[in-house]
Structures are given as structure tokens and as C-alpha cells.
Structure 1
């Protein structure tokens, strides 16, 4: 290596200065300079400072590339309702520890999709609702969300269906749960797994011995002792005990040949001491044995419980038994005092059931889930108290909470079945009348006991009403008129609109005659004139 400073040779510093000068040249000159660098390698060999200088100069010569990072936006989510039937564990076991099963099913679904081929777009699954299919099975619905990325094809319901199908071994197992392999739906998409069974297989075998069809009956009764609080505090034990008592009752009865099984379905609080219990009891339909009907089952239960007084250790209300809608009251002589003036004998027809649906916004759904059994009983009690304290209490029978389902993270929909007695001497309660009673007793659908309601959420069957805008305007105008009157000013008379109100009540001193159905009849016109005069023309608002 030649030493720096020898005659005719360039020093390291000189070369550095040349590169520094070249740094100001255009890119084309920089390229030519880089090609000439090889000629100066001997100059830098053996000199650490020279090598360092060389790399520093290269770094200086390289163009600086700045990248602007695009802000990451949260992708939109696509939600799918994933519905399937769990056949094991059975519904009573599922219901007894619902909170545990809710979290376990959610974890299983999240694990399934996180470990699948669509895990990149998967967001989360949440448990939505469950309901009984039959004595052993449970329908489960969950909401699973997937991210919509512009760079990845959108996940469709068919793909979600097939991923679930493949990860559950053809819809047979979800973790510890055994599934009905023909029960999967993703939104409304379904592929039947049973249509591929060749019909020819059936023709090759002799006629199999078929299991008889089952007839299910809802057996409902009221337990007076032990008290409701005691049953709730140990609900799983009482659930099993009641089911065992019912199974023993029918297995030792005259209809044991056709009896299949009884399972506990639900219970609700009647008052602080009593509980309404509903069980589903199944009977076989065999052609060689006379079919069991609801009246026969009723009488067997009645005879084997000492006239509906005791079911094992449980003390029963002896006027509380219903088989589906069949009921025989032992208190035949007990009459509603207000109706004793009616000469026509009172007969019970088929009870009328209404689905009452509303949304609870407080307490939140998470709080309700922590003790869903108790909250279900409590909501049922509030509904029973509401109608028992209303103007239609004479025909009211009972309300049972049927289901709870989440609307969003905070709110949930409640559906209850409320039954009314159908007396021939009293006009039947219709859905509009019932809606109005609920509305009035809950302060315009705002509060049901401790529960805060969404005031536009009430449905009675399919009947629903919203406050029209014109009605709101009329109400505001009436408020203005009242304020003007209080100030001594005249209320405006132009374009006044009459307000109409439906006023409903029961008259017990006027027998209900067919002529009252015809608003052109003399009886109808006479009665309406007298009622209007008595109620309004002699009042302070006449």
C-alpha cells in the first residue's frame, strides 16, 4: 500500500473532498462517480478511517426516501346470526346453569373461528339467546362478526356455514356439546344434511319398529310451600325434585303404559310465598292403546296428589292446575261478587293468550344474566301484579315470562304470555284494550316496577302504536292554551282541533245484549246517551 502524501498520489482527504463536491451533482453524475470509486479502492485499503469515510459518503449520496403512513381505519363489521340445536346436555341441565353455558358456548365459537381459515377477518362471537326445542334439545343463537377489509374478499354466509361445518365434524360437536347435524343456519342459509340419504336403502330392509310419536302436555300448577325464596335459593335441586315427583306420579298411575317422561320447564313468582311451575310431560301415541288426552292427564294428576294438594314434599294450590289450557275449578260456588247480578250462568271458555313483548333498558343485560332465573321470576311477578291491580283483573289469569334476548350490550327484549279467562257474560279482553292497560299502568311504557322500559317497544301480539306527530302537536297546543288561560289571556280559537280519547270501563248492572252490538238500535242509543250525560255533562269539564 502506498503511503498517503507520496508524490503523484492522492491522499484520503483529497478523495473525501472530491466525493463531497460530487454530492452536489445531479443523479447522473453520481452514478458515474460511483463507477469510478473502484479505482480508489487501493487508496482506502488498510485504513479504517478511509473505509468509514467511504461508507459515510455513500450514505450521503443515497436519496432519502420518506414514506407517509396511511392512518389505519377500523373496518366495517358484517354480523351473522349463527343458529344451531344442542341435543346434549339436555335442556333442563342447560337451563339450570345458563350463565356457565353462555360463556362456554361463546368461548367455543370464538376458538373455532380464530383457528379457522378465515381468522384474519374474524372479530368476535357473542351469545344472543336460547330456547327449548323439545324435552331434550336447546336452540342456541349467537352473533358472529367479521371485518370488511378492502384488500380481502368479503366473508359471506355460505363460507361461514362451511367453516362451522368443517370445524365441528359435519355439525356434530362444538367442544363438549353434541349438535343436531341438520340444525345449522347462518342468517337464513341452511344446507340439509339429510337429503342425501338414498331412498333405496330403506326398501332393502324390512319395516322397522318405529318409535311411537309423543304428545306433549304443559302441566302447570302453583306451589305454596316451600316459599318462592327457598325454591330460588336452591333452584337446581328443586328442579330435579319436581321432575322426579312428576315422573313417579305418572309411572305409578293407570296411564303408565303410555307415559314417557316429564321435564321441568320453568317457574315464576306468583307472590312472595308461591311459585308457578310448568313442566312438559310426554305420552306415547300407540295404535294399540287408547290415546291419552289432557282431561285424562288432569284427572290422574288430581287423583294422585290428593285433589291437587300435595306433590311429594310440595304443598299445592288446589285451584291452580292447568293441562295446556284445560282447567277445572273446585271452587264452583265462589263467584265474582260484581257478576252475581247477571242471571246467565257463568261459563269458562278457552283462555285467550297474548304475547306481550317489550324492551328493558335498565338494569343492563349483563346484570340480568348474572341471575337470569331470579330476574325472570321477578319480571313475571311485576306483570302479574300489574294486571291483578288493573280494571281487567276479573278476567286476568296469569303471565309467564317466555324468553329474554339481548338487543344490544345494554338492552334486552322480554316476551311473556299473558292469559285471560273467556267468560261468556263479560266481553273478551282484546289486544288493544290490553295494550292500553299496560301503557297506563307503566306510566306510558316507562317503568315496570324497578325496570326501565323503552317507551316505543311494546307489542301485544302484532299490535303496536306510536304517538303520531299530530297528537304531539295537539298536546303542545293544549299546554299553550292552559298557560294563556292562567295568565288571563284568551286561547286562540282558529283552527282548533278536537281531541279524541278512548274511555273504557265495565258496566255490571246492564246485562250484555245483542242489541248493544248495533249502534243504530234504540237500546244502544239510549244507553250511550245516558252514560255520556252521567259521566261528562254533570262533570266539571262539561
Structure 2
């Protein structure tokens, strides 16, 4: 029996929202494994599945604009009966499953960097016109900008960019003007209000033939205002009500350094928020079985922790945004990991439904189970233990302020006034008594009563 050598394809692409680090040089790194698994899963579920064997990481290196260039080596069976296995078909399958080479799971792709065995398709300019764009600026008041946030390689920058991009995408797609939106890109962050707040600068693209200009910029402004509860909240972030600008258009008070009275935070944790009675919170727990727990998942600063945190929160947002709870879903945050394969604990926030009643945990659990194929696969990446899902309604106790009744305030003021009057009267009596004791004390010669001295006249 003759041996037929397998067919190898080298796949190259650059991830635009994953900054390269030295840890990625290790091919066994969990992040490298996740990226390889994303490509492998796509090929396994494609028309090339019968011939596909496996993909292995070849190299990870710094890419343009602080991205990461990925090179994978994928193996296919050399079956002579298959006539459609070539670099063009592999390229086409992957391009279609990555939204025209722009999105690989939670990672953005540079479409001009995607090659299979040197093959690359250039999209004609006429078929890929430049979409009209417009600027969107606002200020987050519960995030204090770190010193290195302006450096695009900073992990905090990456996390905040991804979170805000996801929130803005959901806002526009559920707004009254979806025809003015196709995508948003976070350009930069800067300190605001003396460094206590964070100014956000975004560039959003409209759809074809729908430019945002002087005649309709107010519509976009009003849509953002409506989607942020009158410019107060965007997901877990609180906003400065005077900070929203769309193409320099604003209806707020134009203040160079607005200073609203809000909570501030020195962390990038989106759980820094104010509790609203209009929201319900649920803890969502599940177990990932195709990842092994390590000490890195105890360290929020590790590359693995940040990578899994970003992936899971985005996957949860995508899951609930496409579920029956789409209109109620606000956001999910990751509380942490624990051992046992990898146990995940999340906190998800939902708005009350239209009749004003709160959601029940069974609805949140059913939506998760449906979006993960009966709790088996999250985001096409993480395999789940089917019996590990648990959802519990979290009751957040808001401390009650012990306000003093109005009548008590009046009594306190009267008591203070009475005390001052009594103090003044006491001081007056003391002064009067002292005056009487001192009367005549300065006479050098006291005249006896009934006697008269002529020389003293």
C-alpha cells in the first residue's frame, strides 16, 4: 500500500486588535492555541472538512500598527478523488467565514494581510468604495485614564477599545438610524477634567449614499443620546452629559472642562458603576472543558487572563444580543476564574422588560443554553460542560441614607439658638457682677458715712 504525502497550506494574516508580546513567541501559549483553534474549527465546518486534517502554529511576530502577524501550517489529506482542494478554495472558505477577511472570532483581521500559499485576492476599488465617515466624541466619567493608555500597545487600551466598540455597535444597530452606521473605530483616548475622566475619540462609518452632514447630524446625535439614557450611561460607563459631539455638533453646554458630580475609578474594570433600580443583575456560571486552569488565570495582568476575559465578555454580548433578550440585555462583566477545567463566573445586567417587570433567572439561563447549543460551545471556541450552567438573580442592596426629618432639623436649629441666647445672658450676668465688685475700688480714701471733709470739696 503506497503512502500519499499530505498537502500543506501556509496561511498568513495579521490581527489588528492583538498587540504582540514575547509570550506569543511560545507556540504552546494558550492565546496562540485559541487562534489556531479558530481557524481549525472554520475548516472543520467547511466544505473542505473531509480532506482537512489539522492546523499548527508556525510563528507569531509583530505586525503593522502594533498588531500580531500569524503564520499557520494546515494539513489536508491528499485525496486524488478531490478536485477542488487548492489554495484558492482554502482562501475562499476562510475569507467567507471571516467576513471577507476582517474578523476571526473576537479578533479583527487586516484583509490585505490574508494569504494562502501566497494567494491573495485584491478587491477592486469600485466594489469597495470608501464609506462616508463622521466623528463621535464623548467623555467617560468613571474611568481615570492611566499614564500609558495612549500607547496603543497597552492592554488597558486594547480592552477599553474592544468594549466601547462592541457597545457602540449595539447602540447603533438598535437605534432609529441604523442606515447611518456600518462600523466604528476608536481612534484615541486622552485625559479630561484634570485627568479624572477619559475623553473618547471615535470615527464611525455610515452606509453608502448616507453621509452624515449638516442636514442630518442631529439625527445621529439624538440616536446616541437616546441609546445612552440622555447621555448618562454607555454599558457600565457613566458619561458627561455635556461631552457628546457628532462632527462637532452638540446640544449640550459647551464647557472646555466639564466637571459633573459622578463616581470616579482608578481602574479599567467596567464594574465600576452606579446601581440602577431599572436593571436586574444575574450571576452566570459555566465550565470550559477544552482549556486547563493555570496560575495565570489568577493574575488579572497576565496575557492569558486578559485574552480569555476579552473573548468571553464579547462572546456573551454577541450571544445575548442575538437572543430573545436582545432588547433587555445591557452588558456582561467577568468576575473571575477558578479551577476545575476552567470555571467562569460572570455578572450580566439586563434592563426591565417593557411592562416594567424584571427578568427571571430561567429566561437568562434559557437564552444562554440556546445560544451555546444546549451549553456545549461558546463562540465557536470554548467547549462547555453541559451540566455546568447556573444562573442566579443577584439582589444588590443599596444602602439607605439616614436622612434627618424636617421637623427634627427645625428643633435642632431652635435648640442651637436657645443655647446661644442662654450663653449670651450668662456672659451678661458675669459682666454685671464683675462691675459691681469693682465699684469704688479706685478711691484712695473712702469717706465714712455721715462725715464731711471740706478740703475734698
Both structures adopt the same fold (TM-score exceeding 0.5): no
Larger radius of gyration: 1
Between 1 and 2, higher relative CO (CA 8 Å, sep ≥ 6) is seen in: 2
Which of the two has greater helix per residue? 1
User: What is the TM-score of this pair, normalised by structure 1?
Assistant: 0.26
